[in-house]
Chains A and B, each alone.
Chain A
């Protein structure tokens, strides 16, 4: 009975989140409150159980990274790079697109995708306005590149943070298992864009002069701040790589990094805290309580057992289902609640499989599907929604189908490449 009640609360909340008719933070808070009030999850577990309550590792990892990004944002680095790319490409569309995608994809494994989009899209709009070309293809390509690049590391995409915490995977594990395939997919994506956007490329050499008048050096007013930020950021990445050796959680690395970043930048703490997306953090907390309700009432275990019975010894079949299923569902729903819901189910499944290699294959197939699914449609990931909003306000409206027309082929090709990788690496 309690399992049915938990499942009902969860499904109703999920429908509301997916419909985007009601603020999703309100939805998860109400659903989490209902789970707690009806004792579907004990109050003590909500706050103090790592797996049956709020996963504070993920919350504080996000908080630390938001603070770090909040400081890096103020350096003007991305405006400098965006204009540098425009000048370097001399307005040639494919070159411009590749450079902008490269900047986005290189930054996205380290910094949050939404922030990168908020930094790169404005400069893209200004450059495209100057070249008198449509900004939509460039913005779409940047979003797709950021979602691909973000898959490379533990901190690049929120689903990875959730999966890492649940599966006890380290930053190094992501570098070893995810980064190689992300590089391959990104190279394939760069080649594909030439074909995908071929009808959209416009070249106006007569407008190049107006781009060349942009003064990118003026974007960076405080070189010392930039150097300090880059030094701290490098130290944070090294610490992430060594967190298993240092025996500290990634969340602790992020929090210490954030503290050092605030200290060396000299920026007022209130100013930095304004950059923290508190709504997102509350959303995550509520989501964890909702999922914990399912775990506590035995729903997740039942699904896990059912899945084990269904797949039998066909582990590659299970990994394929996870990869394609996650990409398919992740394309139509926000991939964060999806990953938070599925992670305990995959954990339950993995716990019942004796083969270590197959277990690994399941986790990485899940991560790849959830991450690459974020490219599927205009609403699949927060970065997509933010980019479309920025583009519309900048006079370059992107429709749902305009985005999805490019998102679907990129997702299909990414997932197919990932499928081959999962097979060769974990099941061949």
Chain B
């Protein structure tokens, strides 16, 4: 089995889209992350869901669990910070990071090791011109290991 057999078409965002747009895309398409593309539809970076979450939380809270505990429940319930005002590009922590991609003919083992190496639940699948075809999610990959009709 190859990537092309389990790839699914996905929406993408660009670096000028807001963090809110990225979150909405993840929740609407039930994806574990987002693929950020350039004007030619080539992946610039792949962001795991936890990294999107990181973009939404005020950085002052990131490494300070004691400070987080001081926040009252009402404020903690609405913890997202300026998601509409800030773009995905502004929030990228590593702007030079290579996108997590594979070609359509990548094997499942290749996909699995790419996910492991990059700790990403999403791999963008690209064509020969490095344009986005779709993505393989961790769930889709795990699904091939334990198909529904196979007894547990």
Contact = CB atoms under 8 A, between A and B. Distances in A.
Interface of A: 74-76, 79-80, 83, 118-119, 121-123, 125-126, 129, 210, 213-216, 218-221, 390, 393-395
Interface in B68-84: 69-72, 74-75, 81-82
A221 B68 CA distance: 12
A219 B71 CA distance: 9
Interface residues of B, number: 16
A79 B64 CA distance: 9
B71 A214 contact: yes
Contacts of B59: 122, 390, 393-394
Nearest to A395: B82
Given A122-B64, A390-B60, 4 more contacts: A80-B66, A80-B70, A122-B60, A213-B74
Given A213-B74, A215-B72, A395-B82, A129 B58 contact: yes
Contact of A218 (B60, B61, B70): B70
Contacts of A215: 69-72
Given A213-B72, A213-B74, A213-B75, A219 B58 contact: no
Shortest 8 CB-CB contacts between residues of A and residues of B: A76-B66, A122-B60, A393-B59, A218-B69, A219-B66, A125-B60, A213-B72, A79-B66
Contact of A219 (B60, B61, B63, B70): B70
B97 interface: no
Contacts of A395: 58, 81-82
17 contacts: A76-B69, A80-B66, A121-B60, A123-B60, A123-B67, A125-B58, A126-B61, A129-B58, A213-B72, A213-B74, A214-B70, A215-B69, A215-B70, A215-B72, A216-B70, A395-B58, A395-B81
Contacts of B69: 76, 215, 218-219, 221
Contacts of B66: 74-76, 79-80, 219-221
A106 B59 CA distance: 26
Contacts of A75: 66
Main secondary structure of the interface of A (DSSP, over half): helix
Given A79-B70, A122-B67, A394 B75 contact: no
Given A125-B60, A394-B59, A395-B82, A79 B67 contact: yes
A1 B130 CA distance: 55
A219 B66 CA distance: 4
Interface in B43-96: 58-61, 63-64, 66-67, 69-72, 74-75, 81-82
A221 B61 CA distance: 17
Contacts of A220: 66
A215 B73 CA distance: 10
Contacts of B82: 395
A213 B75 CA distance: 9
Given A215-B69, A395-B82, A122 B61 contact: yes
B72 A219 contact: no
B109 to A, nearest CB: 32
B64 A214 contact: no
Contacts of B74: 213
A168 B70 CA distance: 45
Nearest to A220: B66
B70 A394 contact: no
A74, A83, A121, A125, most chain B CB atoms within 10 A: A125
Interface in B3-37: none
Contacts of A74: 66
A132 to B, nearest CB: 13
Contacts of B70: 79-80, 83, 214-216, 218-219
A118 B63 CA distance: 9
Contacts of A394: 58-60
B72 A126 contact: no
Nearest to B69: A218
A395 to B, nearest CB: 6
B95 to A, nearest CB: 14
A39 to B, nearest CB: 38
A126 B69 CA distance: 12
Nearest to A124: B60
Nearest to A216: B70
Contacts of A76: 66-67, 69
Contact of A214 (B58, B63, B72): B72
Contacts of B67: 76, 79, 122-123, 126, 219
B122 to A, nearest CB: 25
A76 B64 CA distance: 8
A340 to B, nearest CB: 30
Contacts of B81: 395
A8 B145 CA distance: 61
A219 B61 CA distance: 12
B78 to A, nearest CB: 12
A306 B69 CA distance: 59
A126 B75 CA distance: 12
